[in-house]
Amino acid sequence: MNPTRPTEIKALAGARAVPPLILVLYHFCEGHHYRNLKAFDLLVGHGYLWVEFFFALSGFILTYVYGAKVRDFLRGSTYREFLQARLSRLYPLHLTMLLYILVMMLILNSIADATHTVSIYQEPYHPIVTWPSFVANLFLVQAWNILPYLTWNGASWFVSVEFLLCLLFPLYLVLARRGWQSAVGLIGAGAAGLAFLSLTSKHGLDITFHNGIFRGMSAFAVGVGMCALYGKTKPFADTLPEWTITLFQLAVVIWWWYGTFDNGWSHSPRDIYSVLPMLALVYALSFDRGALAWPFQTAPLLKLGEWSYAIYIGQTVWLQLIREFERFYPWDATVLGVPFGALIWWPEPLALLLVCVGWGWFLCTYIEIPANRALRRFFAH
């Protein structure tokens, strides 16, 4: 594969930083109630829609990097190398967390059996942990409409869909070859697919193990289309003063604000009104200019963006362990006149967020990056 790559769009690299943090809070609040603060609850309650942002961002970046190599993809060798590169990126952390949860389940179940208690893995609210679903997770097919539930590391349904999108990527590249027609067609088709899913699902766009593949395919198509649009509009955008890019970004942010905070509660057909501006943010940031791009180009957000996949895929173990820890909380205690439950109402999710960020740093630094490099060297020989 040609080692040369297009220049990194730093604003998009840094934009990966925020969605995993919102998703951690979303998964916590779904299981532990929301915080009774409207602005916070609406932001976090729509958190699952940031998965669409990731799918669209993936479609955009992959097309940006490989879009000029469509003929090489069709010849076969580049496609194989592309899949090897993507699996080297996605699979090590997925496998690590799958095995981590397996060991954690065996230990906690053994303790529960010895103490005549019930492990969190034996509770009805827990994701299913069966051996057939374990095998499905090993092959990254668990979210391909073959299982009627989330399994093991529930967050990994995203990785399963992303793997399918990598397999289908040459088809997207072919569809993206016609310039303006491709851009408009892919964006329109992807948005229509998301609108259909939002309207017909009982839970809006909170779709994972069932039809999550169509959710991913639709958002990915929007990202590919936006990259085609970017290729056609960037020469013109480069001639514009920066304040015009800022105004465009501000318009998208206002659109997102109304879609999130003036659109009612989540998990409804109205989800489509929240998700469309999220997708538009990818295009708005792609020019790497404007006031909205500046924060995402800073070192802290770029570093968080580097850890984003690890934060996302690693969160489940802590969401599960917090259930185990809560068994030992002194719920009936009063501290300085404040009931313990009220005392930890805000510190608990914020502490979880900090732990997940630290865990993401550890996973990225000591597993994701070294494993990625090792696998790339292995496939290169």
Q: What average pLDDT does this structure show over 127-149?
A: 92
Contact between residue 52 and residue 278 where contact means Cβ atoms under 8 Å apart: yes
Q: What is the pLDDT, as a whole number, of residue 4?
A: 62
Q: What is the pLDDT, as a whole number, of residue 337?
A: 85
Q: What average pLDDT does this structure show over 349-373?
A: 97
Q: What is the pLDDT, as a whole number, of residue 1?
A: 43
Residue 219 to residues 33, 213, 224, 272, 362: CA-CA distances in angstroms? 29, 10, 9, 11, 30
Q: What average pLDDT does this structure show over 368-376?
A: 95
Q: Distance between CA 202 and CA 260 in Å, rounded?
A: 19
Q: Distance between CA 1 and CA 222 in Å, rounded?
A: 26
* Residue 317 parent element (H or E): helix 299-325
Report the percentage of the chain scoring pLDDT > 90. Answer: 76
CB-based burial label for 356 (10 Å; 0-12, 13-18, 19+)? buried
Q: Does 376 score more than 80 pLDDT?
A: yes
Q: Distance between CA 372 and CA 25 in Å, rounded?
A: 28
Q: Does 202 score more than 90 pLDDT?
A: no
Q: Distance between CA 335 and CA 202 in Å, rounded?
A: 42
* Distance from chain centroid for Cα 348: 23
Q: Does 31 score more than 60 pLDDT?
A: yes
**pLDDT tens track for 313-327:** 999 999 989 988 888
- Closest by CA position to 358, among listed 324, 307, 313: 307
Contact between residue 41 and residue 29 where contact means Cβ atoms under 8 Å apart: yes
Q: Does 199 score more than 70 pLDDT?
A: yes
Kindly report the length of the chain. 381
Q: What is the pLDDT, as a whole number, of residue 172?
A: 95
R_g of the chain, CA atoms, integer Å: 21
For residue 6, give the amino acid letter. Answer: P
Q: Does 173 score more than 50 pLDDT?
A: yes
- Buried b / exposed e over 324-337, threshold 16 CB at 10 Å, is eeeeeeeeeeeeee
Contact between residue 108 and residue 324 where contact means Cβ atoms under 8 Å apart: yes
Confidence of residue 70 (pLDDT cuts 50, 70, 90): confident
Q: What is the pLDDT, as a whole number, of residue 2?
A: 47
Q: What is the pLDDT, as a whole number, of residue 133?
A: 94
Low-confidence winner among 24-33, 156-165, 310-319, 325-334 (lowest mean pLDDT): 325-334
For residue 343, give the amino acid letter. Answer: L
CB-based burial label for 100 (10 Å; 0-12, 13-18, 19+)? middle
Q: Distance between CA 144 and CA 141 in Å, rounded?
A: 5
Q: Does 331 score more than 90 pLDDT?
A: no
**pLDDT tens track for 98-127:** 999 999 999 999 998 999 888 888 877 776
* Distance from chain centroid for Cα 259: 19
* Whole-number average pLDDT of the chain: 93
Report the percentage of the chain scoring pLDDT > 70. Answer: 99
Which three-class secondary structure state does DSSP give residue 4?
Answer: coil
**pLDDT tens track for 6-21:** 899 999 999 999 999 9
Residue in this structure with the two tokens 């590169």, named with its chain if needed: 85
Q: Does 5 score more than 50 pLDDT?
A: yes
pLDDT higher for 3 or 193?
A: 193
